[in-house]
Amino acid sequence: MAGIVVVFDFDKTIIDRDSDNWVVDGLGFTDLFNQLLPTMPWNTLMDTMMKEMHAQGTTIDDIVEVLKRSPIHPRIVPAIKSAHALGCELRIVSDANMFFIETILEHLGVKECFSELNSNPSFVDEEGRLRIFPYHDFTKTSHGCNLCPPNMCKGVIIERIQACLEGKKKIIYLGDGSGDYCPSLRLGEGDYVMPRKNFPVWDLICRNPMLIKADIHEWSDGEDLERVLLDIINMVSVEHNSAQLFSVDCKLQTISTSNHALPHALPVPQ
């Protein structure tokens, strides 16, 4: 329905793996990745890995083919299509990168379901190498959040979305990782958060659920995600329709009352 914005994380929420690790492992660069991991931030590491892969002959087509094999639960795509068909606005907020996300969504046939993708920017340069950059350039300034990695605060993105909505729509946020905790804290009453059970965001929320203003509805796998998400959408839709009917009924009663003309005053005998 038009009054709901569904915000998805991507890795381990839409697909069932971390897309960065999936590509690195799938192309045989795991050892180099693990060797470099302690030496630089993750986002910088992925750009460095793309450089090393390109130097050793890996092509963009090779990367695309691995991305197309990303594991995904069979009920995720139907869930996305159903939410979109019901009129929800769908967005992604992810610490992966735009190239990986767009490639997978296009392969799955659901890219057009999403009105906005928020992730680390990436592009293929003139040499055919994939470049990956931070969403927030932490080499210049800090985003000021100690809960999130230096390159992206999902909470800041959620606050921007909230400002655009001006309180007119409810948000349903789905995620699994520790980076999804900050945006969960920014949701308000009337919103919904769907943490993946027994994943980092679930553990963080369970430490003190009272910090979360939104309603909490956990999920475990793609089948769970589809059921819980569509149940929430249906519940919000029923509440919205009931509120509209109540509003119309009140207006009709007001009109009916105003149409009852007062009796004419009788003339007073002289």
- What residue numbers does the annotated binding site for substrate cover? 20, 95
Residue 180 is a catalytic residue: no
215 is catalytic: no
Strands 130-132 and 122-124, sheet pairing: antiparallel
What contacts 186, CB < 8 A, 6 or more positions away? 155, 158, 159, 162
CA dihedral 63, 64, 70, 74 (to 10 degrees): 180
Question: Binding site residues, as ranges?
Answer: 9, 11, 20, 95, 176
What residues form the annotated binding site for Mg(2+)? 9, 11, 176
Catalytic residue, chosen from 11, 47, 180, 191, is 11
Catalytic residue, from 9, 18, 191, 224: name it: 9
Give residue for tokens 């990168």.
97
Contact criterion met (CB below 8 Å) for 6 and 172: yes
Measured distance CA(177)–CA(179) in Å, rounded: 5
Closest alpha carbon to 152 in 143, 161, 160: 143
- Active site positions, annotated: 9, 11
